[in-house]
Structure 1
Amino acid sequence: MDRREVGGRLIYLPADSSASSEAFLDDVLVGWRRAQITQNFRASTADRRIKLIHRMVDFVGSPPWQWSPHDADEFFAHLRGVRNLSHATIRAYQSDVRLFLEYATNPVYEWNENCGRLFGTVFSQVITEFNRATHVQTNDTQDKRRPFTKAELQQFFDLADLEPERILNSGRKGALAAWRDAVAFKVLYGWGLRAGEGRQLQLVDCSRNARAPGFGEWGLLRIRHGKAMRGSPG
């Protein structure tokens, strides 16, 4: 496969088909990885997605520009029915494949133009509204995992409050850490914070809230660090 840059555009010229197919796919995946890094996705996220594309190529037995929705159905049915992957994992994998094909079919990158010249076919989207896994419920966690009831929450916070006193009475160290944990639990629950957000809180993040003057200097909590970003684990 011969690559030439013409007027700032990368043009691929046909050569040995078997060798050019693998090389062309590698170029597309390298380009997709760069695009993801540019969008502030983590390198580990980009690499995981690329690994999934290779996995699907091996299963289907053909490159992505020859895939059809039927191929996607068989691949994900295998992962769900044979490999027994969770519904949430299947949905995440389908999103990865969809993102890859959105990139490959984007005319800005000219992959389809070169693909048609090389192989006589082009990339197309195989993850559609008809075969994409949807949210079966508002919470994808397993049935045995559930939120606390109000009574259970109260018991949990009561136990956290008693723990510093228990440690002090036992004569052991750790009462201050237990008190810190009790406060942290209440802050996380009260403001609905992620673990990363709560971990990076500082006293300066608390301030007066004009709508709730009764709380004094603790009526408002500003989150400056730890916010989830696209591509991050949250």
Structure 2
Amino acid sequence: MAQGADLTGSVQAVLPVGVRYLDPEPAVFEAMLEGWTRQQHSRMLRETTIGECVRLVRRFAEFTGQYPWQWVPSEVEAFISELRSGSKPVAFSTVRGYQTTLRLFVEFVTDPRYGWPAECQTRFGMVPSQICHEWNTVTHSAEFEGQPARRALTYDELQTLFDAADDRVAQIRGRGRKGSLPALRDAALVKTVYAFGLRRREASMLDVADWRRNPRAGDYGRFGAVQVRYGKAVKGAPPRRRTVLTVPEMDWIVEVLQHWVGEVRAQFEPGGHGAMWMTERRGRIAVRTLDEAFAEIRSLAGLPAELDLHCLRHSYVTHLLEFGYPELFVQQQVGHSYASTTAIYSSVGDEFRNRLLEQSLQRQIKEGTPR
């Protein structure tokens, strides 16, 4: 058996033996992409992830006008320069992700075990080589690479946001227009995202059956906790699960959820559908719909456009810390693997820090510690 014949994604697995192509360059390139797709499937990556990776490689090939065995490092530099130019340059994290994807693809086609170098040498007299090196790629030197303008909302901003969400319902009803039910859903959903520190997909994928009683918080009834079944997954692993407890400082969410489940949701006529957040077409709400609803509410509230739905999760982390919850508890509530990630999400205010400083000074005075 030829070397690599038993490997998923090898030349022997995707290119028919003995076939002579009239136009071999695109045929071999398509076979490479098919082989890489199969290799990624064997790593248990999600279909959406694989699709995005393949589309990026196609996009890069179209930009260069060349095939992988012709690529050189300067093409990567020109591609990134193009992405970083213009009125809307891509973020550093996006650039790093693109470079990582291209590096992984080239690693695949340059690995002799899969047979692509030998195939390219035989057919074209050239072999692919790595084009992404430490001297032309972004270094992950900072913990946080997001937009600096994104931050936690203040308590006043949160109140303004929630008031705008409620006013939106009244405005739609007052104009006698359709859409008051989705507006009610959006108001409850935005409040739930904040009250439990949820990611967008985590919120959209919730079912009514995911809500749990907490024996230590009987007053909250069935809304004492929520089981998040579609937490952020690491590559090659299924979505992570966690249980988020309802905290006393946000127990106002219980009444919101009771009203939604007990009265409003039934008006969407969900039938046997288990989704927590329904659409008027009796389906599960999409992540894009969450973003669009938040953007409209944020605009009505007059808040900065840089604040997006994910900022509510930052707000949740920050406010739990300001309430005095231990960092480990906060980390477990939001499903972070590392405490350093939770720290990035927090942006406690001056009042909270001054209070800690005063407490420290008072302890020193009480204990007679010299300053």
* TM-score (norm. length: structure 2): 0.46
Q: 1:24 aligns with which of 28, 36, 51?
A: 28
The equivalent residue for 1:114 is 119
Q: 2:224 aligns with which of 216, 219, 224?
A: 219
- Contact preservation (8 Å) 2:70, 2:128: yes
- Contact preservation (8 Å) 1:197, 1:225: yes
Call closer, same or farther: CA 1:70–1:177 in 2, change over 3 Å: closer
Q: Secondary structure at the match of 1:222?
A: strand
Task: Please give the residue correspondences for 1:179-218 in structure 2 after superposition, counting only pairs within 5 Å.
Answer: 179-209=184-214, 215-218=220-223
Call closer, same or farther: CA 1:115–1:211 in 2, change over 3 Å: farther
* TM-score (norm. length: structure 1): 0.67
Please list the CA deviations of residues 134-192 of structure 1 after superposition, one character each: whole Å capped at 9, or x if unmatched.
5678353484x65533321122123434555x469959576655443322111111222
The equivalent residue for 1:100 is 105
Distance 1:190 1:138 in 2: 24
- Contact preservation (8 Å) 1:37, 1:46: no
Q: 2:74 aligns with which of 70, 76, 84?
A: 70
Q: Secondary structure at the match of 2:47?
A: coil
Please list the CA deviations of residues 87-145 of structure 1 after superposition, one character each: whole Å capped at 9, or x if unmatched.
354334323312211221334422123334445553332223332235678353484x6
- Contact preservation (8 Å) 2:106, 2:130: yes
Q: Secondary structure at the match of 2:114?
A: coil
- Contact preservation (8 Å) 1:197, 1:226: yes
Distance 2:82 2:188 in 1: 47
Q: 2:59 aligns with which of 46, 52, 55?
A: 52
Call closer, same or farther: CA 1:53–1:34 in 2, change over 3 Å: farther
Match of 2:73, as an amino acid?
Answer: P
Q: Which runs of 5+ in 1 are unaligned?
A: none
The equivalent residue for 2:348 is none
Distance 1:194 1:8 in 2: 41
Distance 2:175 2:71 in 1: 68
Match of 1:54, as an amino acid?
Answer: A
Distance 2:219 2:229 in 1: 24
Match of 2:101, as an amino acid?
Answer: D
Call closer, same or farther: CA 1:83–1:31 in 2, change over 3 Å: farther
Q: Which runs of 5+ in 2 are unaligned?
A: 6-11, 237-286, 288-371
Distance 2:134 2:40 in 1: 24
Q: Secondary structure at the match of 2:36?
A: helix
Call closer, same or farther: CA 1:142–1:56 in 2, change over 3 Å: farther
1:207 Cα offset (Å) = 0.6
Q: Secondary structure at the match of 1:122?
A: coil
- Contact preservation (8 Å) 1:12, 1:118: no
Tell me if 1:140 matches 2:135: no
Tell me if 1:123 matches 2:155: no
Q: Secondary structure at the match of 2:214?
A: coil
Call closer, same or farther: CA 1:134–1:216 in 2, change over 3 Å: farther
Q: Secondary structure at the match of 1:224?
A: strand
- Contact preservation (8 Å) 1:94, 1:127: yes
Cα RMSD between the aligned structures? 4.3
The equivalent residue for 1:155 is 160
Match of 1:72, as an amino acid?
Answer: V
1:20 Cα offset (Å) = 4.5
